[in-house]
């Protein structure tokens, strides 16, 4: 009986996080920088264009910094986040971290550290970026405009991410139903 209860608890802890919304669902666009601070020129080693390609492949709408933005981004720049890559490399290992910042320059997402020991610069940077991009792939992005709300603070307006209580209640109910079903199956077997 204790073993069955432990199994149910583990399944509960595994299922619940997968049903929750992620912090990027509030943003419609990812703005890719033309030049990352640690590189000497724009799109060196094609890292910027590769970053755009990776985001496009995961269903994100991407824009390149400095190009013409859609009217909705001009009207509300807070529906976009800016992608930056932080280089934490050492002498023999390339280490990259993907950081996404909102319109207030606040970090809303930081990826895992992607590392590579390939000796060629163009290959080592793309390899490390692929490894840190795994955490983006796990987010299962789906844009939800209702998550970004306008907050009035005195004379200033600020956009914040809304905590969607209704959604989390739905997740809890679904998770409980899944657990009850699994528990019933375990009892039958």
- At residue 139, the pLDDT reads 86
Tokens of 134: 């795994």
With a CB cutoff of 8 Å and minimum separation 6, the contacts of 148 are: 26, 27, 78, 79, 159, 160, 161, 162
- Pull the structure tokens for residue 162: 């809304």
Q: How many residues does the chain have?
A: 189
pLDDT, the chain, mean:
82
Give residue 127's pLDDT.
96
Residue-wise over 7-35: b if at least 16 C-beta within 10 A, else e? Answer: ebeebeeebbeeeebeebbbbbbbbbbee
A 10 A CB-CB count for 135 gives 16
- pLDDT category at 183 given cuts 50, 70, 90 is confident
pLDDT at 185: 72
pLDDT for the residue 168: 47
Residue 154: per-residue pLDDT: 54
Rg (alpha carbons) of the chain, rounded to whole number: 21
Whole-angstrom distance, CA of residue 10 vs CA of residue 175:
12
The three-state DSSP-derived secondary structure of the chain is CHHHHHHHHHHHHHHHHHHCCCHHHHCCEEEECCCCCCCCCCCHHHHHHHHHHHHHHCCCEEEECCCCCCHHHHHCHHHEEEEEEEECCCCCCEEEEEEEECCCCCEEEECCCEEECCCCHHHHHHHHHHHHCHHHHCCCCCCCHHHEEEEEECCEEEEEECCCHHHHHHHHHHHHHHHHHHHHHHHHC
Of residues 55 and 146, which shows the higher confidence score?
55
Which position has the higher pLDDT, 146 or 45? 45
Q: What is the pLDDT of residue 37?
A: 92
Q: Each residue of 9-63: pLDDT tens digit?
A: 555 555 555 445 577 888 999 999 999 999 999 999 999 999 999 999 999 999 9
User: pLDDT tens digit string along 113-131?
Assistant: 999 999 998 899 999 999 9
pLDDT of residue 38: 92
State the pTM of this model: 0.71
According to the model, what pLDDT value does residue 56 have?
A: 96
Asked if pLDDT for residue 164 goes beyond 50, the answer is no
């Amino acid at each position: 009986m204790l073993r069955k209860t432990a199994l149910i608890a583990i399944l509960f802890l595994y299922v619940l996080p997968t049903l929750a919304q992620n912090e990027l669902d509030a943003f419609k666009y990812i703005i890719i920088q033309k030049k990352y601070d640690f590189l000497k020129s724009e799109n060196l080693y094609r890292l910027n264009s590769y970053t755009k390609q990776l985001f496009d492949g995961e269903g994100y709408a991407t824009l390149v910094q400095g190009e013409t933005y859609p009217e909705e981004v001009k009207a509300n720049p807070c529906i976009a986040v800016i992608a930056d890559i932080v280089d934490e490399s050492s002498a023999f290992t390339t280490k990259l971290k993907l950081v996404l910042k909102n319109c207030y320059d606040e970090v809303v997402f930081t990826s895992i550290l992607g590392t590579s020991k390939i000796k060629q610069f163009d290959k080592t940077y793309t390899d490390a970026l692929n490894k840190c991009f795994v955490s983006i792939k796990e987010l299962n992005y789906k844009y939800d405009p209702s998550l970004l709300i306008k907050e009035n603070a005195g004379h200033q307006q600020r956009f914040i991410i809304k905590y969607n209580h209704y959604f989390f209640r739905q997740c809890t109910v679904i998770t409980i139903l899944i657990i009850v079903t699994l528990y019933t199956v375990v009892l039958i077997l």
